[in-house]
Amino acid sequence: MSGHMNLTLKVWRQKNKETRGKFVTYKADDISPDMSFLEMLDVVNEGLTRKGEDPIYFDHDCREGICGMCSLHINGRPHGPKEETTTCQLHMRSFHDGQTIVIEPWRAAAFPVIKDLAVDRSAFDRIQQAGAYVNINTGGVPDANAIPIPKDVADEAFESATCIGCGACVAACKNASAMLFVSAKISQYALVPQGQTERYSRAQAMVAQMDEEGFGSCTNTGACEAECPVGIKLTNIARMNREYFTAKFFKQEEAH
């Protein structure tokens, strides 16, 4: 059919985190440029199932760019070649007929492979749990909402809150640092009045958990911001560092 593509896929196959993985080559023929990347994998998997072979395992849920589960490393880039696009929103028109596409899971010690292209990102959940308490009696919901927040602050808090926790920032970073993710979550709470009570101890708790999970250090290369599918900004990291060092300063003051 005209306009359709024949592609070669080199896919990372790995039974579980205990076994060694390897690349396996598959053909993806007669692929419509209007398909999403995950729909293309669905077609390949249908073919594998028909042949009695184990389908390629990958994470997905919403397929609308909201949940952050479609974490694929495509031709050396998290979520593929387009900026501010999740894998599920990447269309095959971004590739060309005859192209070879290399598909891998996120590569980070803190994200062990579950199977094939899916990794365990529960480290992110544990980091959020370390900081996700707000010890304040806000009264009823209207009382909490009645606290006026300047528009620029609200906009910045909302931007930070758009982080979908996909882990592309970690996958893009040569040190596998989680600083962009953690800083977005810290900013989300630190900017609004309801999050003030524990803002500094929260930063300390989340950074401590991040270190415990085995993520690397940030060297400000900016690869994380460049690959983030929702455009989380590096300025969050600067804010997080301020929160963290302010917490250390307060602790030292209390000790004296």
Q: In angstroms, rounded to a whole number, what is the distance separating the alpha carbons of residues 256 and 254?
A: 5
Q: What is the DSSP string of 98-155?
A: T-EEEEE----TTS-EEETTEE--HHHHHHHHHH--------SHHHHHTS---HHHHH
Mode of pairing for the β-strands spanning 5-13 and 100-104: parallel
Rounded to two decimals, what is the model's pTM? 0.86
Q: Are residues 134 and 192 in the same domain?
A: yes
What's the full length of the chain, in residues?
Answer: 256
pLDDT the model gives residue 187: 85
Instruction: Determine phi and psi for 242, rounding to 5 degrees.
Output: -65, -45
Q: In angstroms, rounded to a whole number, what is the distance separating the alpha carbons of residues 199 and 242?
A: 11
Examine the fold and report which residue of 115, 150, 181 is the final residue of a domain before the chain moves on: 115
* Structure token pair of residue 172: 């893009």
Q: Are residues 139 and 233 in the same domain?
A: yes
Q: In angstroms, rounded to a whole number, what is the distance separating the alpha carbons of residues 224 and 184?
A: 12
What CATH number does residue 110 fall under? 3.10.20.30
Examine the fold and report which residue of 66, 98, 115 is the final residue of a domain before the chain moves on: 115
Contact 203, 240 (CB under 8 A): yes
The helix/strand/coil state of 40 is helix
Q: Are residues 199 and 94 in the same domain?
A: no
In 10 A of CB 15, how many CB atoms? 13
Q: Are residues 170 and 61 in the same domain?
A: no
pLDDT the model gives residue 19: 95
**Domain ranges, residue 128:** 122-255
Residue 53 gets which letter from DSSP?
P
pLDDT the model gives residue 188: 79
**pLDDT averaged over consecutive 10-residue blocks of the chain (256 residues)?**
86 96 97 97 98 97 94 97 96 97 97 97 94 57 57 70 94 97 86 61 90 94 95 90 75 54
